[in-house]
Amino acid sequence: MRGGSSGGAGPVSASDPSDHRHFGFETAGSPGGTSYGNTLLLHSDPVELLTQILTQIRSAKARVWIELYILDSDSVGRLVIHEVESAALRGCDVVLLLDGWGSRRFSRRVRDRLLRAGVRVCYFNPVFPWTTPGRRVDSVLHRDHRKVVLVDDAAFVGGRNISKDYLGDKPIFFDLNLEVRGPAVYDIATVVADGVRQSIGVDLNLPERQAAGPDDCRTSVLELDQRSGFPDLDRAIQSSVETATRSVSIITPYFVPPRWFLDAIGRALSRGVRVRILTAGKSDVPMATSAGRHIYSELLAVGAEIFEMRNIILHAKSVVIDDRICVVGSYNIDAYGSRHNLELGVASVSSVLAAQLESVFDSSIPASAAVSASEWRRRPALSRFIDWLSWRVYRV
């Protein structure tokens, strides 16, 4: 163990006290185990989320810790960078942990300005460690895919990077984030602090754990870091899918799952569980879409329902099981991420959050194409071959 609503969604309240089932994420070895008394707020509106993040940083009194795969120096990035710099100049503990590959284009001039203001800027596993403040920890395949903004007593966790492609009024991606308040914020801080420790060997001063609030929502902060021996998020999702008795709803943009996940879905379908998958049709990584299509036939044959989002590029990641168990975070439940990435997920037992996520799924169906088993079987041989080849390459 390591040491207002948005988009029509309201705060998540208590889990159902009558449900005494054992859920996989509660013993998955998360940084702080399972905590109660958290408030979770689902954000689907990119303008509202950006406004909330900027407001929180602007009013920060103690710390601003940001961990990202991508930070761009574009119009949205500059807004956040300005507030981060201001927070450091007024004495807050400001840390910016960026992935060494995903943020390789982040302006060195801006980085140096932030360093002069007192921001600790560091890069996880830099590709060229002699040019950036960080150290090589593994092969270049090992990436920090987490997206966390932690400001004093609030944390934002999900799939959004900070750039105009994800936030603001003209994003090209559809995504989801959770705003977390309560004891679980401490658990998120321990994960960010560990990333900084791996990157530059510095220990951050962790915040005090907040007192539990009135909600008794069971929440676990689950990390995935196979290199360091922390498969917690994988284990939690697998265990929870194995408990499913009614439904499993999956939103993921790059549906190239590990074998264990495919097997767990197959067993759920054999038990009569309804399995729905929303993935990307229009994609920023066409090879991932092609690779995912290779396994459609296997899933459609046993009753899975598959939808491809077409009107916008899907980038959200969530799982809902039996209208009660929910996971939202950075993890695509993909074979590459499972093997190589640092990932973070917030798991909870809440019928309220589950209903909000199911509503996101349902409202996306009109703008998505349902994949038909009969039509899929009639695809040209060349398409099937390309999908197979993409599947083999993408599972490096």
pLDDT at 302: 93
In this structure, is residue 227 part of a structural domain? yes
* The model's pTM: 0.92
In this structure, is residue 266 part of a structural domain? yes
What CATH number does the domain containing 145 carry? Answer: 3.30.870.10
Q: What is the pLDDT of residues 338-390, one digit of tens each?
A: 999 999 999 999 999 999 999 999 999 999 999 999 888 888 999 999 999 99
pLDDT at 182: 93
Asked whether the beta carbons of 291 and 394 are under 8 A apart, the reply is yes
pLDDT at 29: 46
Residue 236: left if φ>0, alpha if ψ -120 to 50, beta else—which one? alpha
Structure tokens at 281: 């049709």
Burial class of residue 386 in the structure, from the number of CB atoms within 10 Å of its CB (0-12 exposed, 13-18 middle, 19+ buried): middle
Q: What is the pLDDT of residues 40-91, one digit of tens each?
A: 999 999 999 999 999 999 999 999 999 999 999 999 999 999 999 999 999 9
In this structure, is residue 75 part of a structural domain? yes
Structure tokens at 28: 């998955």
Alpha helices in 201-258 (DSSP H): 232-243
**Buried/exposed code over 38-72 (b: 16+ C-beta within 10 A; e: otherwise):** bbbbbbbbbeebbebbbebbeebeebbbbbbbbbb
In this structure, is residue 9 part of a structural domain? no
In this structure, is residue 208 part of a structural domain? yes
Q: State the sign of the Cα–Cα–Cα–Cα dihedral 328, 330, 335, 337.
A: negative
pLDDT at 225: 92
Residue given tokens 């009660």 in the structure block:
324
In this structure, is residue 1 part of a structural domain? no
Total domains in the chain come to 1
Q: Which residues of the chain carry a pLDDT beneath 50?
A: 1, 3-9, 13-22, 27-29
pLDDT at 371: 95
In this structure, is residue 332 part of a structural domain? yes
pLDDT at 21: 45
In this structure, is residue 220 part of a structural domain? yes
Structure tokens at 156: 């934002």
Domain limits for position 92: 24-394
